[in-house]
Amino acid sequence: MTTKWNANLYDQKHDFVSKFGENLVDLLAPQKHEHILDVGCGTGDLANEIALAGAVVLGIDASNDMINSAQQKFPTLTFDTQDAATMDYSHQFDAVFSNAALHWMKQQEKVIDNIYRALKQHGRFVAEMGGQGNIASIVGALRQSMEELQLPYEEQYFPWYFPAAEEYQSMLENVGFTVQMITLYERPTPLQGDDGLRNWLVMFSNNILQQLNDDEKELVYAKCEELLQPTYYQDKQWIADYWRLRFVATKC
Ligand code: BEZ
């Protein structure tokens, strides 16, 4: 399953992704001259934050469009189009960082394995991703909308992995990580503008709606707005029901 990313729309309407990630960079605490891998770097804003602390960053993303945009924005930084499930780094990095990307990766065991191998001994893995319960209302609204419109909702097109803390901790420990901290927390996330929900759906629901034509998609967007408005549109502001899984783990 491939996800087509629109780097422009991502930067214009979804810059909250990297804004929220800024305090994750504090948790990473990048040091001068450290080598840090940013997995799923998107359009590069947090890789740039890390580089401003004096670290040497490599930003990777499976989307060419994202990497081209990151490289244009930050020409002095190093980016590469790489899939974390197939990347092949060995004992190279003092830290691996990832914000809002891991939940897109279906081959989690391979990704965690590759991250573990990429780290030097005692290296740290600092990350945040969507966790259990993430966007449950939006997914519920998509499913209900499609049912009501008699359009096919297919489980196989669900593109995300939103684990519970205990489940992810076990996966990290299974490859050899020691988990320093892991926490699942609710982070209601404002979506920009009156069309915030619609823009979110246009950007992120491609996989789920892949069998629909443009008119059918429009019907689904409108139905989702109708279903979610009473709870998730307050004072002219759409809110998405994000739940974040945040953790720090080290390679022993
Ligand atoms: C997230 O960051 O939680 C997310 C973003 C887009 C689609 C699904 C989840």
72 found inside a domain:
yes
32 burial level (CB within 10 Å; 0-12, 13-18, 19+): exposed
pLDDT number for residue 20: 73
pLDDT at 102: 98
Alpha-carbon distance 25 to 53, whole Å? 10
Determine the pLDDT at residue 5.
66
Q: Is the pLDDT score of 119 beyond 60?
A: yes
214 within a domain of the structure (yes/no): no
pLDDT tens, 20-31?
777 999 999 999
Assigned domain for 154 exists:
no
| Residue with CA at minimum distance from ligand 1 atom 6 | 204
Q: Cα dihedral sign for 182, 132, 167, 44?
A: negative
Nearest CA to ligand 1 atom 1: 130
**Residue 86 falls inside a structural domain:** yes
For 64-116, the pLDDT digits (tens) are 999 999 999 999 999 999 999 999 999 999 999 999 999 999 999 999 999 99
Length, in residues, of the chain = 252
Rounded to whole angstroms, the Cα distance separating 117 from 87 reads: 10
The answer for 29, left when phi > 0, alpha when psi is -120 to 50, beta otherwise, is left
Percent of the chain with pLDDT over 70: 96
Determine the distance separating the centroid of ligand 1 and the alpha carbon of 207, expressed in angstroms. Answer: 13
Task: Tell me the residue range of the domain where 117 lies.
Answer: 7-134+161-191+240-251
Structure confidence at residue 18 (pLDDT): 72
Could you tell me the sign of the dihedral formed by the alpha carbons of 245, 231, 3, 67, in that order? Answer: negative
pLDDT at 174: 98
Count of structural domains within the chain: 1
Average pLDDT, the chain: 95
pLDDT of 7: 79
* Residue 147 in domain: no
Q: Confidence class of residue 230 from pLDDT cuts 50, 70 and 90?
A: very high
User: What CA–CA distance (Å, rounded) separates 242 from 252?
Assistant: 32
In this structure, what CATH number is given to the domain that contains residue 92? Answer: 3.40.50.150
* pLDDT value at 1 more than 60: no
Q: Is residue 75 part of a domain?
A: yes
Using CB distances shorter than 6 Å, the residues near ligand 1 are: 100, 103, 130, 134-135, 160, 204, 242
Residue 151 in any domain: the answer is: no
What's the CA-to-centroid distance between 144 and ligand 1, angstroms? 19
pLDDT for 21: 73
Ligand 1, atom 3, lies closest to the CA of: 130
Judge whether 46 lies within some domain. Answer: yes
When pLDDT is cut at 50, 70 and 90, the band that residue 8 belongs to is confident
